């Protein structure tokens, strides 16, 4: 028999690791290409990157595309270090912050199969987070074959007090990796630096404060990453800096943690145009600050207008709001809005299934949403 016909008998499923075969992969928000669609489902910024960023990116598209980019994104790390008053050694750049979150699981967490069953050993393979929070975290744990410890936030999506966490024993202060989204998604609620500091102090494993939305918030916790050796701050150019397409994110933290992550990083993980766009972004921060103000103003207006229509809207420090709609179930609202070419996000998990998450768009988009909501309620 020829090699060809015998190899044709290999069943694809038989060569895939069971973990991968059974994995429930992360489901990103839809990116449909429907004409006239108002897209308020993935927290993209409604305003384009600054003209200077577009010009710098376009100017870089030439014969240089044949060359590898700077492997360590050195210029970008230097510029970020100046901005954050730290050293380039405190910073690692990723192909989006999602890449770095995945890298962190491989750097700090043992796969469950590699540890014994004692409680201390299990902590070494535990990825811990509050729920509801960024739905990527459990997927990262599953991919890595790590244990998860998901602890529910209290009724107002607040972090339970340290006393409660200590007493309940549900929270593992020795977990290898703890992920806290702040301000949180999808609730939009921010945690204070004081409470995060107190939480971090109790931890013996790595704590990542995922600040993807921090530019829309009142305070940030960057200082904690420069003060505590086991705390990393995660930031991204995607949401606040209108650069989702380019995939650039970064961590700030202790040089030894950063160097450890760097060992596992792909040599050319951040593409050259992304590095150029991010650098140009940092040269034009006032442009973005204007947009933050506009988004926060639209957020305030949308919050009060939706409340007048009977929505129960949680106060938000992000570029989205979580709202419990009146009259129909949240899932029906998703469909009814979609029928009117407005896309929002709905999550099926129990803590938030009665809510829809609405990205803050332009004022015109907010008006269109309000008009649609009025018609749905009429
Ligand atoms: C969007 C988002 C990210 C990922 O951002 P990228 O840099 O685009 O990968 C990370 N964390 C949270 C909480 C987010 O909402």
Taking 90 as the threshold, does the pLDDT of residue 2 lie above it?
Answer: no
Give the residue, out of 135, 210, 241, with the most ligand 1 atoms within 8 A of its beta carbon, to mutate for a pocket test. Answer: 210
Which comes out higher in pLDDT, residue 159 or 2? 159
**What percent of the chain is modeled with pLDDT above 70?**
98
Taking 90 as the threshold, does the pLDDT of residue 5 lie above it?
Answer: no
pLDDT tens readout for residues 37-66: 999 999 999 999 999 999 999 999 999 999
Asked whether the beta carbons of 123 and 175 are under 8 A apart, the reply is yes
**By alpha-carbon position, which residue is closest to atom 6 of ligand 1?**
96
Q: Is the peptide bond before 186 cis (omega within 30 degrees of 0)?
A: yes
Paired tokens of 231: 């705390």
pTM over 0.85: yes
Distance 14 CA to ligand 1 centre (A): 34
Closest CA to 283 of 84, 76, 91: 76
Ligand 1 contact, 200 CB (< 6 A): no
Ligand 1 contact, 185 CB (< 6 A): yes
**By alpha-carbon position, which residue is closest to atom 15 of ligand 1?**
212
Distance 357 CA to ligand 1 centre (A): 15
Ligand 1 contact, 212 CB (< 6 A): yes
Domains for the chain: give ranges and CATH numbers: 31-48+286-377 (3.90.1150.10), 51-283 (3.40.640.10)
Ligand 1 contact, 95 CB (< 6 A): no
Taking 60 as the threshold, does the pLDDT of residue 136 lie above it?
Answer: yes
- Looking at the CA of residue 134, tell me the nearest atom of ligand 1: 13
- Looking at the CA of residue 184, tell me the nearest atom of ligand 1: 13
Question: Taking residues 85-110, what's their average pLDDT?
Answer: 98
Handedness of CA 160, 162, 165, 167 (dihedral sign): negative
Distance 94 CA to ligand 1 centre (A): 11
């Amino acid at each position: 028999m020829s090699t060809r016909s015998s190899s044709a008998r290999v069943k694809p499923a038989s060569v895939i690791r069971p973990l991968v075969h059974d994995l429930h992969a992360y489901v990103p928000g839809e990116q449909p290409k429907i004409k006239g669609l108002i897209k308020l489902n993935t927290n993209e910024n409604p305003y384009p990157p600054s003209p200077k960023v577009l010009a710098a990116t376009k100017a870089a598209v030439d014969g240089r595309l044949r060359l590898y980019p700077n492997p360590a994104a050195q210029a970008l790390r230097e510029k970020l270090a100046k901005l954050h008053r730290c050293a380039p050694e405190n910073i690692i750049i990723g192909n989006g912050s999602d890449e770095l979150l995945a890298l962190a699981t491989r750097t700090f967490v043992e796969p469950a199969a590699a540890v014994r069953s004692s409680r201390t050993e299990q902590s070494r393979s535990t990825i811990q987070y509050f729920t509801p929070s960024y739905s990527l975290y459990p997927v990262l744990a599953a991919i890595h074959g790590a244990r998860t410890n998901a602890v529910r936030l209290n009724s107002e999506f607040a972090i339970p007090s340290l006393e409660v966490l200590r007493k309940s024993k549900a929270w593992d202060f020795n977990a290898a990796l703890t992920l806290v989204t702040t301000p949180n998604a999808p609730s939009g609620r921010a945690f204070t630096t004081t409470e995060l500091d107190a939480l971090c102090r109790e931890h013996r494993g790595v704590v990542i404060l995922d600040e993807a939305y921090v530019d829309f918030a009142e305070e940030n916790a960057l200082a904690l990453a420069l003060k505590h050796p086991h705390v990393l701050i995660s930031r991204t150019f995607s949401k606040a800096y209108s650069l989702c397409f380019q995939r650039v994110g970064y961590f700030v933290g202790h040089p030894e943690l950063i160097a450890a992550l760097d060992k596992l990083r792909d040599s050319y993980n951040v593409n050259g145009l992304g590095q150029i766009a991010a650098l140009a972004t940092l040269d034009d921060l006032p442009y973005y600050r204007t947009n933050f103000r506009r988004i926060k103003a639209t957020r305030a207006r949308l919050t009060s207008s939706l409340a007048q229509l009977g929505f129960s809207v949680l106060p938000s420090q992000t570029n989205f709001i979580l709202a419990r709609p009146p009259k129909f179930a949240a899932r029906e609202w998703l469909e009814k809005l979609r029928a009117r070419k407005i896309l929002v996000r709905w999550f099926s998990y129990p803590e938030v299934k009665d809510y829809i998450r609405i990205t803050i768009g332009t004022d015109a988009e907010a008006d269109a949403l309000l008009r649609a909501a009025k018609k749905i309620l009429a």
